[in-house]
Amino acid sequence: MKSFITYDSESDFSIYNIPFGVAFIAEEYPTCVTRIGDTVIDLAMLYDAGYLDNLGLEENVFEAMVLNPFIELGKSVTVPVREHIQKLFLEGSDLSKDTDLQANAFFDLNDVQMMLPVHVPNYTDFYSSIEHATNVGKMFRDPENALLPNWRHLPVGYHGRSSSIVSSGTALHRPKGQTKPADSDMPVFGPSKRLDFELEMAFITNTYTELGDSVTTENAEDHIFGMVLFNDWSARDLQKWEYVPLGPFLAKNFGSSVSPWIVTLEALDPFRVAGPKQDPEVLPYLKYEGEKNFDINLQVGLTPQDSEETVVCNSNFKYMYWNMAQQLAHHTVNGCNIEVGDMYASGTISGKDENSYGSMLEISWSGQKPVKLKDGQERSFIEDYDTVTMRGWSEKDGKRVGFGEVVTQILPAK
């Protein structure tokens, strides 16, 4: 396929992508959008001009501050809509000749402000990378028994705080809380000294289910609209003191950062791969057929204030031990209901090599091996005014589909 909208061959947003997001256009109004290269297209204007007729869309569905009303229409509508939009962007299409509409509906990326793409009613964070879980277990528990007994039997997860999920470009303040110094019998209060990123991805659901209903691994992907990059910020010193017995609390709920473009599962379909062999055999409700992992290259860059970026991690989503279908099946097997816009993060994505570790906790091995940056500085964890940039993309047979970036600067504690 070739688009009449020009873009760089290395762009994440090729004609094969067609992601969905929400943008504040020219500081005037919010609207649902898609993107080719660095061109952002107002979907509400395409609808008003009649280019999206007879597709089952509700009136004004794209004149919204979130994508939830569109996503809720289900894949019987959203998949044909995406495919139709893709055809509109091809060379020789009617839209390619409609220069008047292009003048009003097409915007340069620099002229729009991207927003959080969905209202997130509920947020769950999983712990599904066996390499990450093993590394953490080695550091904080018995290195010979790094994984807890349940880990290979179910996708471990916890319910997080949806209200503090923010879009790329939103700065976060360093969190404060209790920590317990190793040489003290009593905790102290103050800003976190071990602030960390966690390289994750998240999927977004497109349906409501009733209490008591369960999603199966077979139909789980019918309930998943698409994916975003996810930075699960973590205050490691707060976490170490607070997590027993109920798990993360203040160490996690101060902020999570997501990329603004939702890439659909349909766009990622060509990049499916087999997942790692699961041993021991999982229980029947967690068994699945087909390729449920995705080959998505992931990268993390760290940039000190007024300096240059150092890439500190190159990983891949295909490493995940528990896939999205298993995560959603386990999440709902007890009858837990899901909602449109719910966000489910993967857990930190680490590979086997040190270069692929998805957190500073692992990269610096809890501060024992500081990372040397390009400008000569060293980092064990994230310091004030540092900026963390995460990227994700898939590439195969000359086709590239990506997520862009999620960029966050850390400001001093308030």
Which residues are the active-site residues? 132
Tell me whether residue 348 is annotated as binding: yes
**Residue whose structure tokens are 């997942």:** 275
Tell me whether residue 127 is annotated as binding: yes
Tell me whether residue 125 is annotated as binding: yes
Tell me whether residue 162 is annotated as binding: no
- Residue 34 pairs in a beta bridge with 41
Tell me whether residue 200 is annotated as binding: yes
Tell me whether residue 339 is annotated as binding: no
Tell me whether residue 232 is annotated as binding: yes
- Residue 139 pairs in a beta bridge with none
| Cα(73)–Cα(60) distance, integer angstroms | 13
Amino acid at 343: M
Phi, psi dihedral angles at 198 (to 5 degrees):
-135, 120
Tell me whether residue 141 is annotated as binding: yes
Please check whether residue 135 is in contact with residue 236, taking contact to mean a CB–CB distance below 8 angstroms: no
Amino acid at 52: L
Tell me whether residue 7 is annotated as binding: no
Q: Which residues are annotated as a binding site for Ca(2+)?
A: 125, 198, 200, 232
| Residue numbers belonging to the annotated binding site | 125, 127, 141, 198, 200, 232, 239, 243, 252, 256, 348
Binding-site residues for substrate sit at 127, 141, 239, 243, 348
Which residues make up each annotated binding site for Mg(2+)?
232, 252, 256
